[in-house]
Amino acid sequence: MLSPVTVVGGAGRTGRLVARRLLAAGAEVRVASRSATRGAKDLVADGARAFDVDVRDGSGLEAALAGARAVVYSVEPGTDNSGPNRPETTMYQGVRRVLELCPPDLGRFVLVSSIYVTHPEHQFNEWGRLLDWRLRGEDAVRASGLPYTVIRPSWLIDRHNRGIAAVRLGQGDQGDGQVSREDVAEACVQAIALPEAAGLTFEMYNKAGAAPDSWSPLFSALVKDDVLTH
Ligand SMILES: NC(=O)c1ccc[n+]([C@@H]2O[C@H](COP(=O)([O-])OP(=O)(O)OC[C@H]3O[C@@H](n4cnc5c(N)ncnc54)[C@H](OP(=O)(O)O)[C@@H]3O)[C@@H](O)[C@H]2O)c1
| Mean pLDDT across the chain | 96
Mean pLDDT of 16-35: 98
Percent above pLDDT 70 for the chain: 99
Point out which residues pair with 199 in neighbouring strands.
none
What CA–CA distance (Å, rounded) separates 206 from 182? 11
Q: How far apart are CA 78 and CA 213, in angstroms?
A: 35
For ligand 1, pick from 7, 76, 115, 160 the residue to mutate: most ligand atoms within 8 Å of CB. 76
3-class DSSP state of 13: helix
Q: How far is the CA of 77 from the centre of ligand 1 (A)?
A: 6
39 Cβ closer than 6 Å to some ligand 1 atom: yes
The string of pLDDT tens digits covering residues 147-156 is 999 999 999 9
User: Is the pLDDT at 228 greater than 70, yes or no?
Assistant: no
Domain boundaries, the chain: 5-220
Q: Which helix (H) or strand (E) holds 95?
A: helix 94-101
Cα separation, 8 vs 164, whole angstroms: 29
State the Cα–Cα distance between residues 159 and 149, nearest whole angstrom.
Answer: 23
β 5-8/70-73 pair status: parallel
pLDDT value of position 160: 83
For residue 108, the cross-strand partners are: 70
- pLDDT tens string 186-205: 999 999 999 999 999 999 99
CATH of domain 5-220: 3.40.50.720
CA of 199 from ligand 1 middle (Å) equals 23
For residue 210, the surrounding DSSP H or E stretch is none
Which 8-state DSSP code applies to residue 206?
A: E
